[in-house]
Structure 1
Amino acid sequence: MSSSHSRRVEYDRFIPFQSAMDVDYARFALTGPSRPQRDASRESPSSVAYQKLLDECILKNRSRILAFNTAHETPASLPQFDEAIRLQKKRQRRIPKEPERVLVLNGMLVDDGLNLLDWGSNNVLAIGLEDAVYLWDAANESTKLLQGVEDSGPITCIRWSPDCAVLAVALGNSYLSLIDPATRHVVDGMEDENQSPMSSLAWRSNSILTVGRFDGTIIDYDFRKDDMFICFYNGHWRGVCSLTWSGLSGWYLASGGLDKLVHIWDACMPVSRHHPRQRQWLHRISSHTSIVKAVDWCPTRSNLLASSGGRNDHCIKFWNTVNGACLNSIDAGSEVCALLWDKNKSELLTSHGSPNNQLTLWNYPSMTRVAELPGHSSRVLSLAGSPLGGVVASAAADETVRFWNIFETPKITKPELPFAQFNFIR
């Protein structure tokens, strides 16, 4: 008669669980040379400690080859999780709250429509004053002063050429000077008293300069030709506050104005047959409720443009320049006077007006605040980044220029040797 209780099954042999075995260690233990028994009394303490650590880390104190029980599931190690958090915190860079240097410059003009700060690829920062240009060489921290033309009115805009061979200086009487910074002499220029004064400049190449004026006109000039006028951009009806060419392609021009409009122009788009020297806008954006002081192209995304609104707007907007769609709009909480993208990471720096007159670093596309840097006592009107990365200069209505170590300095990579990717040369 069978018992109601389950009987224990007895086996005549042990069958190992292959899934619970370390096959690589088993192969090593079977095929490797046998290790002689060590006499700890004859070895140094450091050798004994090293061998013990080796057994724990590499062999995990294993002494058996076959496993007859299923392997127990080991929970995730909490110290490894803590280590990951510690390394993540270690990777986060520290952004100083205080500026590295402060320049006090008397005679700086305070106007929303002026662009008086530019840092060239020659590592020289140009600062426009009322009747002169102050040059600060970041390499040797030397200074130089370029005097303006007498009876020409205040300086309204400055811009380095891409190769920094000349500095374009726009004056209040509609005169434009191209100055050689080495000799301090005017090498070229133009004068048109019938035109409105210039408010913004943008170099398309080393010889073609785009000029925006206070009457809303935008014109391309080629200084290699006798007839320098190339093309007229028809769109704004008030002063052009900001101009910038797309850095990746050089095909698109963005402009922001006192008329609260943003225009995107395609330089490759055909012009009208009736007006062969007049270009129409590709996209007209009228979403801002105040003047558009700043527009800036993302250096890592060719079709991404950022624009900022003034005192009654407080918004930072991002645009897809292919179809003109608004990708995002962020309320910054105060007037946004200037924009500056980091050239190496997806970070955006903005400068603000009252009540805090601070600089704010944003992480794109999440638009989370990375850091806020107070220091100026008035509106921060302009931003310029060092060509070497890392340092940013800010000019404010308090007549100071402050240097901040904000952006992450890119790592310098050694140039690759010729044919380094080949193992041999035929």
Structure 2
Amino acid sequence: MELTKHWAAQLDDYAIDLAWSADGARLAAASAAGGIGVFETPTGTRTALLPGHADGANVLGWAPSGHLLASGGQDGTVKFWDGAAGQHTATAQLGQAWIEHLAWRPAADGQRATLAAAAGRELVFLGADGSVRHRFKPAPKTLSALAWHPGGGALAAAYFGGVCIWDADDHLAQKEYAYGNGIHALVWSPDGRWLVSGNQDPSVHLWLPESDTELHMSGYEGKVRFLSFDCDSHWLATSGGRDACLWDCSGEGPEGREPTMLPHEAPVCSVRFQHQHGLLATAAQDGVVQLWSPERPKPLRATVRMPSKATKLVWSPDDRYLAIGTEKGSVYVLRCEA
């Protein structure tokens, strides 16, 4: 297994977010300074430089189909762009709080495109034209993570002290779970069975919403900020120290099982499974990025070293490319080859 450089680009500041278009033809890269570059996947040619957000960009998200790109910034706005044409199409002003979380509802037949956006304690559903479709009651504390159920029927929203699962259509709370600490990350397993949080305490907490069962794994060195499931919902990768941890979520789940430890020489700052295949990418603060095959007795498959700390790892939709953003504003697109 090899990771080979396909192309690289330079932003004007810290690479704060990366996002692939649904067809994999374009990669959007947001700079902390506010601008957003759009690059063609085959060549790395920058086809657009969007003005983004004057006070700084925070987050990006392509719609599940088409060329619509959304961005959230420190100016309290969500902006919509035609990523192919490089044109601004709409703006939603949500207030003064930073827009820190955006999540598009997974595509399904007959559903309108819906974007969930969080700013401070406010959660809204936006249409593709920037209109506010629904504004939820304010959360008890600042919203810290959003995660759509894979079927698109519900959105989980986390805040200090708990998680609420909102119905996507009638906007009523399906479940509310108390959790007595801060939550940094939230993810559903692809089969919709598990809802998992990475926490301040530091720990990982799992809910089985169908049975209201809860599991808890503690003992991490630091806060758990990154989570990722493999496509089969078997393996859960977590950060939280110098090792990435792999938990076996098959059967009754990971509680009582020893995790597989994937070592780095510096704290792990990102974990990301492929969409359709079994490779896991992990990155550490010393710039080392590694590929792993969890099912193998010797799981390490490849190692590359970036010139600075990785800020984002994002696989292309077809899993052929791994995009890496760095704290010095570099963006690398690596080809994954057997």
Query: How far off its partner does 1:336 sit?
Result: 1.6
Could you tell me how far apart the structure 2 residues matched to 1:290 and 1:145 are? 41
8 A contact 1:335–1:352 mirrored in 2: yes
Give the distance between the partners of 2:82 and 2:72, measured in 1 at CA.
15
Q: Which amino acid aligns with 1:304?
A: W
1:122 aligned partner: 65
- Displacement of 1:394: 4.0
Aligned partners of 1:384 and 1:392 also within 8 Å:
yes
Report how far residue 287 of structure 1 moved: 2.7
- The answer as to 2:98 corresponding to 1:154 is yes
CA deviations 1:5-30 (Å, max 9, x no partner) are xxxxxxxxxxxxxxxxxxxxxxxxxx
- What is the letter of the counterpart of residue 245 of structure 1? W
Aligned counterpart, 1:320:
248
Aligned to 2:144: 199
- One-letter amino acid of the structure 2 residue matched with residue 165 of structure 1: A
Is 1:224 equivalent to 2:169 in the alignment? Answer: yes
Corresponding residue number in structure 1 for 2:312: 382
Indicate whether 1:346 and 2:278 are aligned. yes
Which residue of 298, 308, 324 maps to 2:239? Answer: 308
Matched, 1:178 2:110: no
Structure 2 alignment gaps of length 5 or more: 12-28, 35-57
Which residue number in structure 2 is paired with residue 422 of structure 1?
A: none
Letter in 2 for 1:196: K
- In proportion to residue count, which structure has more helix? 1
RMSD: 3.1
Select the structure with the greater relative contact order (CA < 8 A; seq sep ≥ 6). Answer: 2
Give the drift of 1:146. 5.6
Partner AA of 1:264 in structure 2: L
Which of 269, 284, 292 pairs up with 2:224? 292
Alignment CA distance shift 1:393-1:96 (3 Å) = closer
Cα pair 1:258 1:292 within 8 Å, conserved:
yes
Residue of structure 1 equivalent to 2:48: none
Of 291, 295, 298, which residue of structure 2 is paired with 1:361? 291
Q: Evaluate the alpha carbon distance shift between residue 137 and residue 397 of structure 1 in structure 2; reply closer, same or farther with a 3 A threshold.
A: farther
TM-aligned CA deviation for residue 392 of structure 1: 3.8
Query: What secondary structure, in the 3-state scheme, does the structure 2 residue paired with 1:346 have?
Result: coil
Structure 2 counterpart of 1:210? 156
Contact 2:275 2:318 in 1 (8 A): no
Is the alpha carbon distance of 1:296 and 1:360 closer, same or farther for their aligned partners in structure 2, counting shifts above 3 Å? same
Q: CA deviation at 1:100?
A: 5.8
Q: Partner amino acid for 2:237?
A: A
SS in 2 for 1:264: strand
Structure 2: distance between partners of 1:351 and 1:133: 29
In the other structure, the counterpart of 2:31 is: 105
Size of the aligned set, in residue pairs, is: 286
Task: Tell me how far apart the structure 2 counterparts of residues 95 and 147 of structure 1 sit (CA, whole Å).
Answer: 38
Structure 1: runs of 5+ lacking an equivalent: 1-91, 109-114, 270-278, 410-426
Matched residues in 2 for 1:352 and 1:368: separation?
15
**Which is higher, the Rg of structure 1 or of structure 2?**
1
Give the direction of change, closer, same or farther, for the CA distance of 1:403–1:184 in structure 2 (3 Å limit): farther
- Bigger proportion of residues as strand: 2
Identical counterparts, % of pairs: 21
Give me the whole-angstrom Cα distance separating, in 1, the residues matched to 2:316 and 2:63.
8
1:210-248 deviation line (CA, Å, top 9, x unaligned): 0011x131110114226x1121123x322211111111x
Describe the shift of the 1:136–1:351 C-alpha distance in structure 2 as closer, same or farther (beyond 3 A). Answer: farther
Q: Equivalent residue for 1:414? A: none
Q: Secondary structure at the match of 1:224?
A: coil
Label 1:150 to 1:161 Cα distance change in 2 as closer, same or farther (>3 A).
closer
Letter in 1 for 2:5: P
Partner of 2:113: 165
Name the counterpart of 2:187. 244
What TM-score do you get using the length of structure 2 for normalisation?
A: 0.73
User: What's the counterpart of residue 39 of structure 2?
Assistant: none
Aligned equivalents of 1:99 and 1:373: distance in 2? 14
Distance 2:218 2:258 in 1: 11
Structure 2 CA distance for aligned equivalents of residues 229 and 169 of structure 1: 17
The 5-angstrom pairing of residues 262-277 of structure 1 reads 262-269=204-211
Paired residue for 2:134? Answer: 188
